[in-house]
Structure 1
Amino acid sequence: MVDLLSGCVPYKEEDVKKYNELKWWEGLTFGDLLDRAADVHPDKEAFVDRVTRLTYGEAREKVNQLAIGMMDLGIQPKDRVMVQLPNWNEFVFAYFALQKIGAITVLLIDRYRQYEINHLTNITGATYWVVPVKHKKTDYTPIMDDVLKENPGIKKVITVRGERAGEKFESLEGLMAKADMTQENLDRLVQRRPDPMQIAHMGPTGGTTGAPKVVPRSHNSLVTGITYCSRSWEQSNLDINLIAGPIGHDLSFSKGFMGSIITMGKVVLLDSPDNKSICETIQQEKITSIIWVPTLAQRLLQYEDINQYDLTSLQKMHSAGGASHPGMVKDVIDKLNCKFFNGYGGTEGPTTITRINNDLETICGTVGRPTCPYDTYKVIDPFGKEVETGKQGELVLKGPGVFTGYYENPEENKTALNEDGFFKTGDLARIDENGYITLTGRIKEMINRGGESISSTEIEKLITLHPEVAMVAVIPMPDEDMGEKACAYIQPTEGSQLDFDNVIAFLKAQDASVLQLPERIEFIDEMPYTGAQKLDKRTLREDIENKLKTEAQMA
């Protein structure tokens, strides 16, 4: 057995034997994936950002240079290294260099600040940190100083696109320049190839309901999940994939970035997700495929200058990480003339997606079926018993593409996984006879109104049908008598005259039940978003609680 990193939950021996014997695990590392692509297509353009364009062969050479530089710096196998970079090609160098020397990457989105970084440093025991000196308006210098002050265990900060003086700092560019590409060093690099059973990657969860938890993934497990997802929505070596969401977020990283490398396609990294930059990039780079969250898709569709650009190269869009409402899906298909793939997933490993031949009803009404045919998905009742086909319950899963527990978090693991090792997603769902999954709500986000459980997701779906609604989020609102009531935050379309009565009348016209009528509506100019560009419902809950307190004081 592999000497697994302490604090990680190992796969059960019988599962390891099964996954290996049936070749569900192919025994590949992330470093192997880059080398394979570079062997097959050394001269093919592979990675593009605002500054550089690199072929697979050029990228491998730079990765090997940095890997040798990192070994000389003293980074050891299983050392945890935080990688906090924008959508730059330096992410490619840092991520794969660490994979090749057997270190473990801890992915941070570029918007994380002292609180999240200190928290993740403490949990993971990270001793190195790769971070830019500056990105756009953010100067990371004071952030570095604060984090180093709180975490003396960090040995080195590797700065990117800039240098800092001091014994704690090395520049990524300097490490690459100093690397001696001798055969001896290249042989030393080969010897550092990790066992595919070892932990390769730690991904924080979103953290919108508290401090992030850490999801450790082995090479075998994460490569398996990404491989089958890329096949399910037919990524190919002809695709030019645009990554506009943060590369440190699981959706962008796994489905977009790594899916492109597994299929030997081309990745265009865009570090500004504004509509103008996105449209310009699609037009200039002839983008064929986009991977992102529904909020970014919705923003693009509402862009008033969208018709000024040639977006005809776009063939498909994969959206997950939030609800893709029917109106938006239809607009993507009709206005952008491209295929839409509705998906669902998480850092822990759940991955489902609709297929290219699905009808509109399936695409709008479900999140598809599991991408990895060897992962087992079930729906269970509150007592842990599997329910009948088509009945609602909690979605749980287990398999070669799924994690086995949070890092250094035994208390969380007691409730997150059942005794058979199935991950409990916390999502309410139905699975039909063909394996297609319909999400019906989230257990933690269900509104408990006087004992009645009301799905905020279902109310959101109904409100989104209104032509003057741009975005909607439904949250539980504290109430002395009923416990909770439904409050809808609505971002109207430009020029809209929406009011409470208008929305309620519309819902009644849709035959909504009285339970699906929000008892309060807040109209706002723009929704708050997390760093991963998901709707930030925690901020909305805090807002309505503050409003209620103020109103009570004034009463």
Structure 2
Amino acid sequence: MLDGCTPHPPETIGRYYDRGYYEGAALPQLLAEHARTHTTRTALVHGERRLTYRELNRGVDRMAAGLTLRGVRAGDRVIVQLPNVPEFVIAVYALMRAGAFPVVAPTSFRADEIGHLAQVTEAAAYMGPGVHRGFDHAKMASMVSDDHPRLRRAFTLDNPDSPQSGFFTAPSGCLFFPLGSLDAPRDPDRAYDPNDVAFLLPSNADATATAPRLVPRTHNAYAYQTRAAGELIGLGPEDVYLAALPAAANLTFGCPGIVGTLAAGGTVVLIDDHADAVRTTEAAFHAIETEKVTVTSLTPADARLWLDALPHGRFDLSSLRLVQIGGAPLDPELAARIQPAFGCRLQQVFEMAEGPLSLTRLTDTDDVIRHTRGRPLSPDDEIRLTESDGTAAPAGTPGDLWARGPHTPRGYYKAPDQSARAFTPDGFFKTGEVARLTEDGNLVIEGRA
């Protein structure tokens, strides 16, 4: 296990293996298996660009080898702050394949947050756009490297709008390279520990936190989460998933999202977000029509924008069979509009980077789908509703939501004090949410504790 992380006890891991949740394969190994199975099927779409499974896997292999040549070593932590482009998917898998640890960051993070991640992880490298939505990420990375001498390399998307694109050396000595220069013949296969960390995700448990906590997600746990969430919605090779929300978000990346779609042999369509919400919505509608998208994920705010745009729409959205809604609470009246407006099923999702994942089922009644966040993903997920002192809340009443299960870690990365406050000694995560359970076991989120 990566130093600074709390592993599951061996007996817990053994139980998860015995019950079939953990299958003992790392995420890069699984991608290679998918490439052998699906070969010429389309894996990624971004605008006019299309990559088959074979091309995706080859790109991962060659970027992993290129990272090694550029000095990224096994065990290094690398901040990945890329928008919804194929390079995001390739980079995350390539870093894992090279034995490094991706530290996934949203493009909204600025110097304070990126600097904090660099400090906590002792990051050796940074990956990001040159300029994205008018902000110069390359310049920011150069500034961050001034204060973090371990950050010696940066790889940026080629961008003529950024004066710091291409090869150059920052005043701090940090070496900058175009991301496209990471290309070399494939390295030999690497041995992986599937119970080790695959990547680090910023916590979304507290939107007011100024310094993002990092959540370690292991290969076994994330592979199980994405596989089980995909099976829950019948995700298969004919499905097309639209990543309309940021790809770096847990909901988009793995509920089942990008990773789950690739595991099922489906196609992932990536679209860029724009400062103008109308343009973003139109881009999404255009992608649904042209690529015959079947599944996507939205926040309630995005769902409202989509519904408001429908009367003016010029697009055929009939391929959609499921819209997932996660993030903020979904108003029941808004929920009631989604299914008839789009002619598809609705699934409410409660997810956290820390692992807890609860979803409505496709067979649930409309009342359950509109008013609850469904039931936990795994049969081995455990839910506790407690009073403020940790004692059990009376049956049928709201309480502080605690969760434990196969896809929930045991602590934050290199944050023992925060871990001690948020995780119990026996592995329950205190979500900070107040919730109640309905008589049939569905979760209703009442608000923050």
Distance change in 2, residues 1:51/1:149 (3 Å): farther
Match of 1:419 in 2: 425
Larger RCO (CA under 8 A, 6+ residues apart):
2
Partner of 2:313: helix, strand, or coil? helix
Match of 1:56 in 2: 53
Match of 1:32 in 2: 29
TM superposition shift of 1:337: 0.8
1:228 aligns with 2:233: no
Partner of 2:440: helix, strand, or coil? coil
TM superposition shift of 1:51: 4.5
Write the distance in 2 (CA, Å) between the matches of 1:102 and 1:145.
25
Do 1:225 and 1:401's aligned partners in 2 also have CA atoms closer than 8 Å?
A: yes
Do 2:7 and 2:409's aligned partners in 1 also have CA atoms closer than 8 Å?
A: no
> Quick one: which amino acid aligns to residue 364 of structure 1?
R
TM superposition shift of 1:435: 2.4
Match of 2:172 in 1: none
> Quick one: which amino acid aligns to residue 165 of structure 1?
F
Partner of 2:168: helix, strand, or coil? coil
Match of 1:161 in 2: 158
- Please point out which of 170, 174, 177 is paired with 2:181: 174
Write the distance in 2 (CA, Å) between the matches of 1:126 and 1:435.
43
TM superposition shift of 1:77: 2.0
Match of 2:105 in 1: 108
1:12 aligns with 2:9: yes
Match of 1:269 in 2: 270
Write the distance in 1 (CA, Å) between the matches of 2:70 and 2:48.
27
Match of 1:369 in 2: 375
Match of 1:509 in 2: none
Partner of 1:47: helix, strand, or coil? strand
> Quick one: which amino acid aligns to residue 320 of structure 2?
L
Percent identity over paired residues: 31
Match of 2:351 in 1: 345
TM superposition shift of 1:433: 4.2
- Please point out which of 307, 329, 333 is paired with 2:335: 329
Match of 1:356 in 2: 362
TM superposition shift of 1:272: 2.3
Do 1:47 and 1:53's aligned partners in 2 also have CA atoms closer than 8 Å?
A: yes
Partner of 1:303: helix, strand, or coil? helix
**More off after superposition, 133-142 vs 192-201:** 133-142
1:177-234 deviation digits (Å, cap 9, x = unpaired): xx134xxx3xx2x1x2321011111001236212211111111122222221222222
Write the distance in 2 (CA, Å) between the matches of 1:371 and 1:22.
14
Do 1:101 and 1:194's aligned partners in 2 also have CA atoms closer than 8 Å?
A: no
Match of 1:76 in 2: 73
**1:101-500 correspondence runs (5 A):** 101-162=98-159, 163-167=165-169, 168-176=175-183, 179-181=184-186, 185=187, 188=188, 190=189, 192-206=190-204, 208-210=207-209, 211-255=211-255, 256-272=257-273, 274-303=280-309, 306-443=312-449
Write the distance in 1 (CA, Å) between the matches of 2:331 and 2:203.
24
Do 2:158 and 2:166's aligned partners in 1 also have CA atoms closer than 8 Å?
A: no
TM superposition shift of 1:109: 0.7
Partner of 1:308: helix, strand, or coil? coil
1:366-407 deviation digits (Å, cap 9, x = unpaired): 100011122212212223233354222111111211011011
TM superposition shift of 1:306: 4.0
Partner of 2:241: helix, strand, or coil? strand
Do 1:199 and 1:218's aligned partners in 2 also have CA atoms closer than 8 Å?
A: yes
CA RMSD of aligned residues (A): 1.6
**More off after superposition, 381-390 vs 113-122:** 381-390
Structure with bigger gyration radius: 1
1:305-340 deviation digits (Å, cap 9, x = unpaired): 543221111111011111111121111111111100
Any gaps of 5 or more consecutive residues in structure 1? Answer: 444-555
Distance change in 2, residues 1:226/1:304 (3 Å): closer
TM superposition shift of 1:114: 0.6
Write the distance in 2 (CA, Å) between the matches of 1:277 and 1:306.
14
1:259-310 deviation digits (Å, cap 9, x = unpaired): 2112121100001262111111111111111112221111111126543221
TM superposition shift of 1:439: 1.1
1:506-543 deviation digits (Å, cap 9, x = unpaired): xxxxxxxxxxxxxxxxxxxxxxxxxxxxxxxxxxxxxx
> Quick one: which amino acid aligns to residue 272 of structure 2?
D
Write the distance in 2 (CA, Å) between the matches of 1:388 and 1:232.
31
**1:518-533 correspondence runs (5 A):** none
Partner of 1:302: helix, strand, or coil? helix
Do 1:389 and 1:432's aligned partners in 2 also have CA atoms closer than 8 Å?
A: no
Match of 2:82 in 1: 85
Do 2:167 and 2:178's aligned partners in 1 also have CA atoms closer than 8 Å?
A: no
How many residue pairs match? The answer is 431
1:76-97 deviation digits (Å, cap 9, x = unpaired): 2221111110000111211111
Match of 2:277 in 1: none
TM superposition shift of 1:113: 1.1
Match of 1:503 in 2: none
Distance change in 2, residues 1:306/1:34 (3 Å): farther
Partner of 1:401: helix, strand, or coil? coil
